[in-house]
Structure 1
Amino acid sequence: MTLSNNLPGCPAQHDTDALPVNIAQALVRQWISPLVATERVPLREALGRVLASPIDSPLAVPAHDNSAMDGFAFSSAALQAASAASTSSVPELELAVVGRALAGHPWRGDVGSMQCVRITTGAWLPDACDTVIPHEQVEQTPHAIRFSAAAVRGGANCRRAGEDLQAGQIALTAGRIVRAADLGLLASLGISTVNVRRRLRVAFFSTGDELRSPGEPLDPGCVYDSNRHTLFALLQRMNCDTLDLGIVRDEPAALDAALRTAVAHADVVLTSGGVSAGEADFTQTLLQTRGEIAFRGLALRPGRPLTFGRIHPDKPAESPADGQLDTTRATLFFGLPGNPVAVMVTFALIVRDALLALAGAQPQPVTLLGARSRVLLRKRAGRTEYPRGIASRGSDGQWQVAPTGSQSSGALNTMSEANCFIVLSHEQTDVSPGEMVDIMLFDGLF
């Protein structure tokens, strides 16, 4: 076994059984090299995938000058001419209507200096026109319009060619996770296929003789396994391919077989339970013989008994084709706690960013908001704490937060009721009512 704590700010004598969260996050980043295999997928299958290369715009967006609203298009020179010819401080302007421009049906005729064309939103601007006045701001006759020259400025209500994107400009950068708006953007550029990194393959299982799957009889002293279902949901939200290896008994042979299967088929292995100091916790012993442990334990509540390392493959394999699992790589291992809430906390703080980095995604830090604590929060320095809470807007419009009921790391009910974590930093102490704290909203996280 290799136990590493050679990090800036992490001296050799550091208690690796209580590693600060920020040091653990830095160590995980050091052990990750992004996957390189890519594949080209149809546009609609790119949602949630990681772009493998930047996408340059093949055309200007918009492709031509066009109207931003329904109205009348004309040359701004008419405004200047009206001001010069009138003795009034607010001159009136009359323009002859010579044609009509519709989206997809541009006006091809000439437009004189005192003429205009009726135009709809998105329609090409005729060559001589650079201004649009909305139709509700004019008086109309069958063949002309009349309006105050002060009602519109030159160049108003027009979209210029290339103002969103120039041809050849980078539209989306490599490492971006494709969102719904990105699909629309790519479609607007005429792009039908996208080069993306292959999906991460994550194997997971729960350990413990006391665990039963939902639907099975619940024997005395046993509990239903919730962690596999939680992990499945979290991994699905991250668009990972998953391999559920079920419940593994607290037996070295069974655990070894599960780890071998996971390493053969996945980039990452997640387990829950079996990584603390209990008599039946064999996982760490197996890791010591099959790989390396970077750390085992965090100064974190809930989530202290987390182990991170890597498992080496049984034997080298031939170089795989693109899109196939590289069995020459070590497989990352996260031994998560057994308590359900601790699983979610450690996933959010440690595993999530590791999976994003391994997938080649750009860093996506979770947004923290400031909120006023509604109650006294007890906290001792020396560990980071993430009590779950309910955040809401106060009468003054400011965010406020209070913990949900029980903060036991096994109480999933209060986790389900919560909409945020209250973030209490490593050296922070008690928080008084009315004092500001950071909160991490669940929306977009779970």
Structure 2
Amino acid sequence: MAEARYRSTVEEHQRRVLALAPLLPEDTLALAEAAGLTLAAGATATLDLPPWDNSAMDGYAVRSADTTRACAESPVRLDLIAELPAGTEADPALAPGQAARIMTGAPMPTDADAVVPLEDAVDWDPAAPTAGTEPPAHVELNHPVTAERHLRRRGEDVRAGDLVSPAGRPLTPHRLSALAAAGIAEVRVRRRPRVMVVSTGSELVAPGESVRRGQIPDSNSLLLASLVAASGGQVAHRGRVSDDPAELQAVLRSTQGASDAVILTGGASVGAHDVARLVLAPDSPGGTVPSRQTSTPDGGTPVPEDPTVRFDRVAVQPGKPQGFGLLADGRAVWSLPGNPVSAWVSYLLFVEPGLLAMQGRDTPVAPWYPVVTEEGWRSPPGREQFVPARVVSAPGEPLRIAQATERGSGSHLAGRMARATGLARVPATTDAVSAGNTVLYRALEA
């Protein structure tokens, strides 16, 4: 339970996001069009893989019984009666004492039960070209070969009907390749979330514009749009509005039919000009209230989560003020703090899991791993701390991290975010980290 002055912990706020994030519709797409999407149904193989017994080497398909007496003093000579390239349909009959030259991936003759690599043949010359050459009339072997040697059996990878990938997995390049190899032509997927990203604040100007006193460049909309794309989303709108509530209301209305989710930065706290709170939850209290109960006291049927947009004080640094809920039109909306580091950390903790859950991802919350700290720093008691960190260990060494900036974890230090390779996570029960301590760490994209 969070301390009295906070409404929820990080985990409690994440649970609310996951409970309310609307699941997006399914679609059936050709495999080539589904890259990066999430499987909505398990994908099963339509054929055996491999589809037939085939050779794992360039060499000679033989009957292993013909090689049992082969030795250096008395090589065995086998007559070559066929050439079997990959893609051939040929299945030549092999009588005792006969073999076939075979290439990697070519179907094995029914009568053969092993493959002898080219380099294991007597008088093999590695410098001699083989491409385009006529097959020799015979091959000599001075070692016996055991049955099944260098042979890939039909279906040893997967069988037709086997589950290749369950629902909830992203269609990454290696997973797409596995599905294609298993004969799968189309898949059921969740469509990408269409997301509008809006930075709020009368002080914002476009990056590169002249900055007068009181103004700052809008970096958050670019930050969040890039993060949305990395989470599998599609940015339907990116822009900024002033602190005039009418501007934000107009943008929300104009994007209603073209977006599934809304991410706002700035205006999430209790200031007089915090436009996100004024528009999304004008009656939302700024004081302390207890965390909502989402299950019955006896552990029975969970109580449905109230979807109303609400603004919470989360026990976290940075990113204490957080707004989340569903708009009247059903869109999920996040209202994040305006300081860039806070917006970044808030996205990774609360928005990313929600967008992944909307896509039906089986593990929407990213894992954290223990690492050792190179230095110490202070942590606020009662709040879980997330510190931009950088790897300082050499390649091959156990991972060690330090703060990304020597000036600590200030949420306004936007210019120093570029040094970070990940986030360090410090428990709310800790008020100081010392060099050599173990903390949790999440690596970010390079």
Report the TM range for the smaller structure's normalisation.
0.7 to 0.9
Letter in 2 for 1:221: G
Letter in 1 for 2:118: H
Query: Where does residue 355 of structure 2 map in the other structure?
Result: 355
Query: Where does residue 341 of structure 1 map in the other structure?
Result: 341
Matched, 1:73 2:61: yes
Letter in 1 for 2:343: V
1:389-416 deviations in Å (ceiling 9; x for gaps): 1114348721111112233212222211
Once the 2 structures are TM-superposed, how far is the Cα of residue 175 of structure 1 from its aligned partner?
A: 2.5
Cα distance in 2 for residues equivalent to 1:365 and 1:254: 33
Once the 2 structures are TM-superposed, how far is the Cα of residue 106 of structure 1 from its aligned partner?
A: 4.6
Instruction: Report 1:145-294 matches (<5 A).
Output: 145-149=140-144, 152-244=145-237, 246-288=239-281, 292-294=308-310
Instruction: Report 1:383-422 matches (<5 A).
Output: 383-394=383-394, 397-405=397-405, 406=407, 407-422=409-424
1:152-185 deviations in Å (ceiling 9; x for gaps): 4431211111122211222232222211123323
Partner SS state of residue 124, structure 1: coil
Tell me if the contact between 1:18 and 1:304 (Cα under 8 Å) persists in the aligned partners.
Answer: no
Once the 2 structures are TM-superposed, how far is the Cα of residue 105 of structure 1 from its aligned partner?
A: 2.0
- Of residues 436, 439, 443, the one that matches 2:438 is 436
Query: Where does residue 132 of structure 2 map in the other structure?
Result: none
Cα distance in 1 for residues equivalent to 2:339 and 2:121: 69
Query: Where does residue 307 of structure 1 map in the other structure?
Result: 323
Task: Between 170-179 and 201-210, report the one with greater CA deviation.
Answer: 170-179
Cα distance in 1 for residues equivalent to 2:182 and 2:251: 46
Task: Between 211-220 and 226-235, report the one with greater CA deviation.
Answer: 211-220
Cα distance in 2 for residues equivalent to 1:91 and 1:193: 56
Tell me if the contact between 1:387 and 1:422 (Cα under 8 Å) persists in the aligned partners.
Answer: yes
Partner SS state of residue 139, structure 1: coil
Tell me if the contact between 1:201 and 1:241 (Cα under 8 Å) persists in the aligned partners.
Answer: yes
Query: Where does residue 15 of structure 2 map in the other structure?
Result: 26
Tell me if the contact between 1:48 and 1:238 (Cα under 8 Å) persists in the aligned partners.
Answer: no
Partner SS state of residue 229, structure 2: helix
Letter in 2 for 1:337: P
Once the 2 structures are TM-superposed, how far is the Cα of residue 264 of structure 1 from its aligned partner?
A: 4.1
Cα distance in 2 for residues equivalent to 1:228 and 1:199: 19
Cα distance in 2 for residues equivalent to 1:269 and 1:395: 40
Once the 2 structures are TM-superposed, how far is the Cα of residue 46 of structure 1 from its aligned partner?
A: 1.0
TM-score, normalised on structure 1? 0.83
Query: Where does residue 291 of structure 2 map in the other structure?
Result: none
Once the 2 structures are TM-superposed, how far is the Cα of residue 227 of structure 1 from its aligned partner?
A: 0.4
Cα distance in 1 for residues equivalent to 2:33 and 2:420: 33
Letter in 2 for 1:187: A
Query: Where does residue 429 of structure 2 map in the other structure?
Result: 427
Cα distance in 1 for residues equivalent to 2:14 and 2:181: 39
Once the 2 structures are TM-superposed, how far is the Cα of residue 18 of structure 1 from its aligned partner?
A: 4.8
Q: Unaligned regions of 5+ residues in structure 1, if any?
A: 1-8, 314-329
1:331-384 deviations in Å (ceiling 9; x for gaps): 211101101111111111111011011122221543433322111232244221
Tell me if the contact between 1:106 and 1:126 (Cα under 8 Å) persists in the aligned partners.
Answer: no
Query: Where does residue 296 of structure 1 map in the other structure?
Result: 312
Cα distance in 2 for residues equivalent to 1:77 and 1:428: 70
Instruction: Indicate the percent of aligned positions where both proteins have the same amino acid.
Output: 30
Cα distance in 1 for residues equivalent to 2:158 and 2:356: 28
- Of residues 25, 32, 41, the one that matches 1:44 is 32
Q: Structure 1 18/375 Cα, relative in aligned 2: closer, same or farther at 3 Å?
A: farther
Query: Where does residue 97 of structure 1 map in the other structure?
Result: 80
Q: Structure 1 251/180 Cα, relative in aligned 2: closer, same or farther at 3 Å?
A: same
Task: Between 187-196 and 216-225, report the one with greater CA deviation.
Answer: 187-196
Query: Where does residue 128 of structure 2 map in the other structure?
Result: none
1:175-224 deviations in Å (ceiling 9; x for gaps): 22211123323333454444322221111211111111124332321111
Tell me if the contact between 2:53 and 2:151 (Cα under 8 Å) persists in the aligned partners.
Answer: yes
Cα distance in 1 for residues equivalent to 2:357 and 2:414: 29
Letter in 1 for 2:243: D
Letter in 1 for 2:335: G
Cα distance in 2 for residues equivalent to 1:395 and 1:38: 43
- Of residues 100, 104, 108, the one that matches 1:121 is 104
Tell me if the contact between 1:263 and 1:311 (Cα under 8 Å) persists in the aligned partners.
Answer: no
Partner SS state of residue 179, structure 2: helix
Matched, 1:143 2:130: no
Task: Between 196-205 and 341-350, report the one with greater CA deviation.
Answer: 196-205
Tell me if the contact between 1:97 and 1:145 (Cα under 8 Å) persists in the aligned partners.
Answer: no
Cα distance in 2 for residues equivalent to 1:231 and 1:365: 18
Q: Unaligned regions of 5+ residues in structure 2, if any?
A: 124-135, 284-306
Once the 2 structures are TM-superposed, how far is the Cα of residue 435 of structure 1 from its aligned partner?
A: 2.5
1:98-124 deviations in Å (ceiling 9; x for gaps): 322211125422113443222111011
Cα distance in 2 for residues equivalent to 1:390 and 1:281: 33
Partner SS state of residue 386, structure 1: strand
Cα distance in 2 for residues equivalent to 1:163 and 1:400: 42
Q: Structure 1 376/331 Cα, relative in aligned 2: closer, same or farther at 3 Å?
A: same
Matched residue pairs, number?
409
Once the 2 structures are TM-superposed, how far is the Cα of residue 55 of structure 1 from its aligned partner?
A: 2.2
Task: Between 264-273 and 234-243, report the one with greater CA deviation.
Answer: 234-243
TM-score, normalised on structure 2? 0.83
Letter in 2 for 1:128: D
Query: Where does residue 294 of structure 2 map in the other structure?
Result: none
Once the 2 structures are TM-superposed, how far is the Cα of residue 27 of structure 1 from its aligned partner?
A: 1.8
